[in-house]
């Protein structure tokens, strides 16, 4: 079971699905078989099995054999997974090089008037992930990679739900953080500092991140949907940093 779960995890990293993994595992056990037998083995309907097999053939994890008018499917060696990882790593490196060339050109074409602030709105858990990724991306470009956070206890459970490895990534990239937490709780972590404020009776449920020239406010709506607003403006960010440091010094 552990090996199966590890395969599922690897397939997800390779942008393949849980059903893809089940079909591949079935083929490893069944050798050369028809779509019908794969469907019987996995419990997945034939139409879906057919689409999955096409995808696995394209990835090189499965090959086909034709006998008469029948087509049979065979699992390739699991070592093919190493090749897939190398291929995707190479593709990512090529994409990075292309991005390094084109992103400055795209930024130069931006219609944003110079000196004007930019305000972006994000919604749902994926929106929160986008904000957290922006924190990492922005901070890694700073001479002193650091950000500041106001954290409220009711909202903490929503912040990292879809990005559980955020703190791990932050630490790996050497990004420090100062946190003023409203209410008890919050796990200690390396290269971070934390101070606390007593929790307000009004039940404050907001999370503020101050990083680079940006300020992000994350909150939850009445139906518990997280949303966030990012303000990109040097003046606003500088003022928020000043107020944060002043409050920090009094705690």
Quote the pLDDT of residue 111: 57
Mean pLDDT of all residues in 206-230 = 90
Using pLDDT thresholds of 50, 70 and 90, give the confidence band for residue 114. Answer: low
Comparing 152 with 7, which gets the higher pLDDT? 152
Quote the pLDDT of residue 171: 93
Would residue 113 count as lying in a domain? no
Residues 123 and 22 occupy one common structural domain: no
Residues 189 and 243 occupy one common structural domain: yes
Other Cβ atoms less than 10 A from the Cβ of 47: the count is 10
Would residue 94 count as lying in a domain? no
Residues 246 and 122 occupy one common structural domain: yes
Residues 238 and 159 occupy one common structural domain: yes
Contact 111, 141 (CB under 8 A): no
Residue 198's region, left for phi above 0, alpha for psi from -120 to 50, else beta, is: beta
> Residue 25 sits in a domain of what CATH number?
1.10.10.10
Would residue 32 count as lying in a domain? yes
Distance CA 234, CA 214 (A): 7
| Pairing mode of beta strands 192-197, 146-152 | unpaired
Using pLDDT thresholds of 50, 70 and 90, give the confidence band for residue 3. Answer: low
Asked whether residue 53 carries a pLDDT value surpassing 60, the answer given is yes
Asked whether residue 208 carries a pLDDT value surpassing 90, the answer given is yes
Residues 131 and 21 occupy one common structural domain: no
Residues 140 and 242 occupy one common structural domain: yes
Would residue 207 count as lying in a domain? yes
Residues 194 and 128 occupy one common structural domain: yes
Mean pLDDT of all residues in 137-150 = 94
Using pLDDT thresholds of 50, 70 and 90, give the confidence band for residue 109. Answer: low
Residues 55 and 124 occupy one common structural domain: no
> Residue 159 sits in a domain of what CATH number?
3.30.870.10
Using pLDDT thresholds of 50, 70 and 90, give the confidence band for residue 200. Answer: low
Distance CA 50, CA 31 (A): 16
Helix residue ranges per DSSP H, the chain: 2-13, 18-30, 35-42, 46-59, 80-108, 124-139, 153-159, 166-172, 234-250
Quote the pLDDT of residue 106: 67
Would residue 102 count as lying in a domain? no
Would residue 140 count as lying in a domain? yes
| Pairing mode of beta strands 146-152, 176-182 | parallel
For residue 164, the enclosing domain spans 118-250
Asked whether residue 135 carries a pLDDT value surpassing 60, the answer given is yes
Domain boundary among 52, 80, 108: 80
Q: What is the mean pLDDT of the chain?
A: 85
Distance CA 74, CA 3 (A): 20
Residues 139 and 223 occupy one common structural domain: yes
Domain boundary among 80, 99, 127: 80
Would residue 244 count as lying in a domain? yes
Residues 64 and 148 occupy one common structural domain: no
Residues 21 and 133 occupy one common structural domain: no
Domain boundary among 60, 80, 100: 80
Domain count, the chain: 2
Quote the pLDDT of residue 170: 93
Angle between helices 35-42 and 18-30 (to 10 degrees): 110
Would residue 109 count as lying in a domain? no
Q: Is the dihedral of CA 104, 128, 208, 195 positive or negative?
A: negative
Residues 70 and 182 occupy one common structural domain: no
Asked whether residue 245 carries a pLDDT value surpassing 80, the answer given is yes
């Amino acid at each position: 079971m552990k090996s199966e779960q590890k395969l599922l995890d690897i397939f997800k990293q390779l942008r393949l699905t849980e059903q893809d993994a089940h079909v591949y595992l079935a083929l490893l056990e069944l050798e050369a078989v028809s779509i019908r037998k794969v469907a019987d083995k996995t419990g997945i309907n034939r139409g879906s099995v057919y689409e999955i097999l096409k995808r696995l053939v394209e990835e090189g994890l499965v090959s086909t054999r034709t006998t008469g008018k029948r087509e049979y499917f065979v699992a390739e060696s699991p070592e093919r997974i190493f090749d897939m990882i190398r291929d995707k790593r190479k593709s990512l490196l090529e994409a990075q090089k292309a991005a390094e060339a084109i992103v400055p050109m795209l930024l130069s074409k931006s219609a944003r008037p110079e000196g004007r602030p930019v305000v972006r709105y994000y919604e749902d858990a994926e929106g929160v992930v986008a904000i957290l990724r922006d924190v990492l991306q922005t901070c890694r470009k700073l001479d002193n990679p650091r950000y500041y956070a106001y954290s409220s206890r009711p909202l903490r459970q929503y912040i990292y739900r879809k990005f559980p490895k955020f703190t791990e990534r932050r630490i790996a990239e050497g990004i420090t953080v100062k946190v003023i937490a409203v209410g008890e709780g919050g796990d200690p972590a390396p290269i971070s500092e934390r101070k606390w404020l007593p929790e307000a009776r009004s039940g404050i449920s907001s999370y503020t991140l101050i990083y680079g020239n940006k300020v992000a406010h994350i909150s939850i709506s009445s139906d518990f949907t997280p949303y966030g607003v990012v303000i990109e403006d040097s003046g606003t960010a500088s003022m928020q940093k000043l107020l944060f440091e002043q409050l920090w010094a009094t705690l």
